[in-house]
Structure 1
Amino acid sequence: MRIALTQSEGRLAGLQERLEAMGLEVVRQPLIQTRTLQADLTPLSDCRWWLFTSVAAVRAVLELGGCLKGRALGAVGQATRQVLEEAGGKVELVAPEETAESLAEAFLALRPFGYVGLPQGNRARPVLAQRLREAGYVVQSAVVYQTQTRPWPTDLPAPDLVLLTSPSGVEALPETVGRQAHLLALGPTTAMALSERVLPYTLVPRPSVEAVLETIERIRGERCPA
C-alpha cells in the first residue's frame, strides 16, 4: 500500500518512519509552500509572549530580523519547539496537539501575564486570537508569511492513500487523485474542505501521529478482514 504525505515540513514528526515500519510505501509530496513576506514586526515588539503555530512562522520571523531572546515563547508541536530553541529562544509552553485550539487551551490553563504576539501566515484561522481576546488578553498579530499551493507531479505513482492536513492542501489536490485514492482528513477543517469539493474521506480524529496510524490500521483491517 502506497501513501502520499502532503503536510508541510515539521508537521507530524516521525510519521514517515512509523508508516514504513508498518510496511507502507511512503511518498512525500507537500502540497503547500511558504514565502516570507516583507512584514513589519513592530506590532509584536511590546508583547511579552510570542506564540508560534508553525515552523514556517518561526523561520519567517527570523528572516525578518526578529529577536527571540527575552521573550516567553509558546509552540505548537515539537518541531516548532525545536526550531525555536535552535534559534536561541526559550520555549515555556508546548501545545500537546498540533492545532491552534490546543495552543490556546494550554496557554489559558497556564494563565500567564503580558501581551501576546501572534506571528502568522496569511491563511491563519482566527481561532487562537479570538480565544485569547475572549479571555481578556491583548493580542497583536503580524502576517509574516504567505502560503502557496504546489502542483501535483504528473509522474508521481498513484497512491492508495493520501493524507491531507489543511484546507490549502485540499485546494491543491487534483480531482483525479482525489477520486482514485482513499483520502485521510486531519481534523474537521480539512474534512470540511473535502466535503465542499464533494470528495469522500476518512476523518483522522486527532492531529497526531498515533491517530493517523490508528486510522490507517482500521482501513487496512476493513480491506483485508481476518
Structure 2
Amino acid sequence: MTLKTLSYPASLIKNPLKSLLSSVLTTTIILTGFTSVAAKPGNQISTAKATVSPAASKWKLFTAPDGGFTVLMPGNPKVTSQTQKTFMGEINLQVFVAQPPKQEVAYVVAFNDFPDSYGKMANPDEVLKNAQAMALKTTQSNLISERSIRSSNGQPGREIEYINRGGKITKSRMYFAEGRLYQVMVITTKRQQKYLVKSIAGYLNSFNVVLRK
C-alpha cells in the first residue's frame, strides 16, 4: 500500500512530539484501511488478563516477533512494517491486523519506537495525551470516553473511545513503555459493536506489554 507523503508545518516543528505522533498515527490509519474516533475524563484503572468470547477456539495467543507484547487474536494477524521518515529521523512502525470473516470489525495492534534520545526524555503523560489529540484530529472523530489506565505490569496508558463521520467506532488503549508507543485498537460499526462487547473487552484486557530490559 502506498503511503501519503507527510509534511510538517512550523507549529509541529516547534513541538517534535506532535510531529512524530502525527506521522505515526496517520501511517497507522492508512495501513489498516480504517478511520477512527475517541473520549471524557474517568477513573484510573489497572488492566487485567481476560478470556475472549465468543468462539474462543478461534482465538489464540499471539506474541510479537520481537517479544514486545502478547495479545489474544482471532486468528493469525496480517503484519505490516513501514519505515516513516520524520525530521528527527526514521521511525519504524509495526502494524498487526486481524479481521474475522463475516464481521465488520478489525482488531489492531500497532507500535513504534521513538528515537532513543527522545524516547528517554519524553514524559509518558504528554506522549499519551498528544497521541489521543492527534488520533481525534487525524481521523476527524468525536470523543466518546477516556480514562487513564496502566498495563498489568504498571506501564502508563490511556483508554479512549471515539467515532468518526462515517460512523465507525474505535476503542483504543495506548501504552508508553521504554520509549515505545503501543496502540491496541478495535475498529467496528455501531451495528456490529453490540454483538462484540465481550470480545472487545477480552481482547483489550488480554494485551500485555513485555518489558525488554
TM-score (norm 2): 0.25
| Structure (1 or 2) with the greater strand fraction | 2
TM-score (norm 1): 0.24
Higher relative contact order (CA 8 A, sep 6+): 2
| Structure (1 or 2) with the greater helix fraction | 1
